Amino acid sequence: MNRVITVFLLFILFDGSLWGSDVDLLWGVRIPMRDGVHLNATVWKPADSMEPLPVIFTLTPYISDTYHERAYYFAQNGYVYATVDVRGRGNSEGAFEPLANEGRDGHNIVEWFAQQPWCNGKVTMWGGSYAGFDQWSTLKEFPPHLVTIVPAAAVHPGIDFPFISNIFYPYVMQWLTYTSGITPNRNLFGESSFWIQKFRKLYLEHLPFRQLDRIIGNTSTHFQTLLSHPTYDDYWAAMVPKPEDYAKMDLPILTITGSYDADQLGAMQYYRMHMKYGSPEGKSKHYIIIGPWDHAGTRTPKKEFGGLKFGEASLLDMNNLHREWYDWTMKDGPKPEFLKNRVAYYVMGVEEWKYADNLDAIVASKQTLYLNSTDGRANDVFASGSLGKQSPGKSKPDSFIYNPLDVRPAEMEKEEVQNRITDQRYALNLFGNGVVYHTGAFSEDTEVTGFPRMTAWIAMNVPDTDFEVTLSEILPDGTSVNLSQALLRARYRESLSAAKPVKPGEITRYDFNGFTFFSRRISKGSRIRLVLSCPNSINLEKNYNSGGIIADETAKDARTAHVKVYHDAQYPSKLELPIAE
């Protein structure tokens, strides 16, 4: 037995194929920025390379070592890979200001790498979330030696961070605490009981959202700065490409996101803007992959999320796909076989990938379903309103009440529930705050792919509140599968940049255009459920309905919203579903 072990160990030691290619390390590389600050990089290089190679780098606030596995893989596969700490984090100089400096610094990094003797002048980037954002932010500076970008789950400032539809979420402080100081506070970040405790305190005691940093014990000038920009203004716009920037983009781009990616709204915003303002040549080089993944799954796919299980096809080898993309765009290799067209999307329920020239080409028709009810009864799943193809005639409006001082929903959030994909409790316990509508049972399997839209005619007695719409598939056995959702703050119903108070009692049109993309085969016998409510959760900034500065509102500002949802011939509230072929 010992001889067998000895022989095996010697085989491992002398057979390089088991170890992969040798890698060299450059530690503590200092990269000068235009203002004199030096950023720190760790560089991995193929040890046996006799000629300069393309450079891949990740610009991260999470410290270089967190990307070691990716870096080592690419260094073993013919690339120089560098991880760079953003300014003020890790071993980089300067002060960290979230999202503010990455574009200019990214430009300097690209051009510095391009001049190194081990670089052949071709530079690209890798990463998701924050490291997806800074790829777009770097691209808007147009460094000459940037050859391609591959942003995954890219955050878009002012769109999905630090708020959605101008509604802040307390996770912002969890993230700011994670990135406080110079090294990641990983254990504190992951201590869910602590964060639930603090978010509950804010919620249950009706404290102003502005005090959240003090409640947590980490007073943050960054948090207060973010709160001082509660709408999409020039502060956020400076961090991302402008329309004229998209018009000039002509390098290959691979966008990656997921149906349950928390930053899908951001990733899609970049894609849509490029499709709207880009040149024909530039748009023809932009590919997008939309998998059945959550945020982390856009980089490391898994077969299960939130109670849903996916097919083997969902498990893309992301390292290999990136390598094939880089080989194609930087080394004149073949196009990745997976990218059969510019749009690749995974259809849940069918468990297969489909392809299209663009997102609009997926939709064969749009099915309009009108909201209706009997005698204004639509307040729970067992006595709900209906969603049907026939437009309503005379019909009483449905009504519900949102009391900001009602804290009963928090009892369902004592335990951490990040993935509510197949959890029905939140629809079954509206506590009178919301209305529910169902379609009839589908007569055949139907693929729904794209972005739903909804128009609701609503009257209420307060100048402002928040609305949330969720769509679910209710399977024949009663299981609920979350499909998509949208948030809307009433005062921003016409523009996310300019507030317009609601006139109490006036029937007003609300267009919910912020739904997330999904692709799923709705099974024969299933129904679609629509829930319209006012969010009342520890996980969102609370709107007390006064019409004032929401970050400063407390219990004394609370006004109970009496909401009426109209659905008649004059005010036809409706849902529009994108139906694929």
Whether residues 115 and 171 fall in one domain: no
Same domain? 129 vs 216: no
Task: Please give the Cα distance from 119 to 454 (Å, whole number).
Answer: 51
Angle at 572 between CA 569 and CA 573, to 5 degrees: 155
Q: What are phi and psi of 23, to 5 degrees?
A: -130, 135
Structure tokens belonging to residue 401 = 């009440």
- Does 198 lie in the same domain as 139? no
Report the run of H or E that residue 322 belongs to, with start and end: helix 318-330
Contact 26, 55 (CB under 8 A): no
Together in a domain, 176 and 128: no
Say if residue 288 is in the same domain as residue 262: yes
My answer on whether 219 and 293 are in the same domain is: no
For residue 482, the model assigns a pLDDT of: 95
In a domain, 49, yes or no: yes
Q: Is 55 helix (H, G, I), strand (E, B) or coil?
A: strand
pLDDT confidence of residue 393 = 87
Integer Cα distance of 553 and 47 in angstroms: 60
In a domain, 55, yes or no: yes
Q: Using the 3D structure, point to which of 181, 196, 227 is the last residue of a domain.
A: 227
The structure tokens 């024969």 sit at 524
Q: Is residue 88 part of a domain?
A: yes
Cα–Cα distances in angstroms (integers) from residue 257 to residues 18, 70, 83, 197, in the given order = 33, 19, 22, 31
Burial class (CB in 10 A: 0-12, 13-18, 19+), 356: middle
Task: Report the CATH number at residue 41.
Answer: 3.40.50.1820
Domain containing residue 410: CATH number:
2.60.120.260
pLDDT tier, 428 (very low <50, low <70, confident <90, very high otherwise): low
**Residue 75 maps to a domain:** yes
Q: What average pLDDT does this structure show over 489-515? A: 96
Report yes or no on 279 lying in a domain: yes
Task: Please report whether residue 11 resides in a domain.
Answer: no
Q: Is the dihedral of CA 160, 165, 171, 177 positive or negative?
A: positive
- Of 113, 101, 49, the residue nearest 93 (C-alpha): 101
Mean pLDDT of the chain: 93
When pLDDT is cut at 50, 70 and 90, the band that residue 424 belongs to is: low
> Given 227, 258, 276, which residue is the final one in a domain?
227
- Of the chain, the percentage scoring pLDDT greater than 70 comes to 93
Render 419-444 in DSSP notation, one character per residue. Answer: --TT--HHHH--TT--EEEEPPPPSS
Confirm whether 393 is domain-assigned.
Answer: yes
Do 62 and 129 lie in one domain? The reply is yes
Taking only the tens place, the pLDDT of each residue in 294-331 is 999 999 999 988 889 999 999 999 999 999 999 999 99
Residues 369, 495 share a domain:
yes
Residue 131 has pLDDT above 60, yes or no: yes
Q: Residue 427: what pLDDT?
A: 53
With a cut of 70, say whether residue 414 has pLDDT above it: no
Residue 37 within a domain:
yes
d(CA 201, CA 215): 8
Lowest mean pLDDT among 76-80, 116-120, 415-419, 471-475: 415-419
Number of independent structural domains in the chain: 3
- DSSP 3-state assignment of 317? coil
Domain that holds residue 192: 167-227
pLDDT of res. 417: 46
354 and 383 belong to one structural domain: no
Dist. CA 109–CA 209, nearest whole Å: 37
Per-residue pLDDT reduced to its tens digit, 431-480: 789 999 999 999 999 999 999 999 999 999 999 999 999 999 999 999 99
Q: Is the pLDDT of residue 8 over 80?
A: no
Asked if residue 12 has pLDDT above 50, the reply is no
**Window from 67-81, 236-250, 320-334, 425-439 with minimum mean pLDDT:** 425-439
Q: Tens digit of pLDDT for each residue in 17-59?
A: 445 789 999 999 999 999 999 999 999 999 988 899 999 999 9
What number is the average pLDDT over the span 275-290? 98
pLDDT tens digit sequence for 529-555: 999 999 999 999 999 999 999 999 999
Distances (CA, A) of 349 to 11, 61, 396: 46, 37, 37
Give the CA radius of gyration of the chain.
25
Same domain membership, residue 181 and residue 94:
no
- What is the phi/psi pair of residue 191, to 5°? -80, 80
The widest CA-to-CA distance across the chain, in whole angstroms, is 88
- Mean pLDDT, range 192-211, rounded to an integer: 97
Higher pLDDT, 338 or 408: 338
DSSP per residue over 292-308, as a string?
EEETGGGTS--SEETTE
Pick the range with the lowest mean pLDDT from 61-75, 83-97, 404-418, 454-468. 404-418
| pLDDT (average), residues 74-83 | 96
Tell me: do 194 and 314 sit in the same domain: no
Q: Containing H/E element for 290?
A: strand 286-294
Instruction: Check whether 391 has a pLDDT greater than 60.
Output: yes
Same domain? 437 vs 562: yes
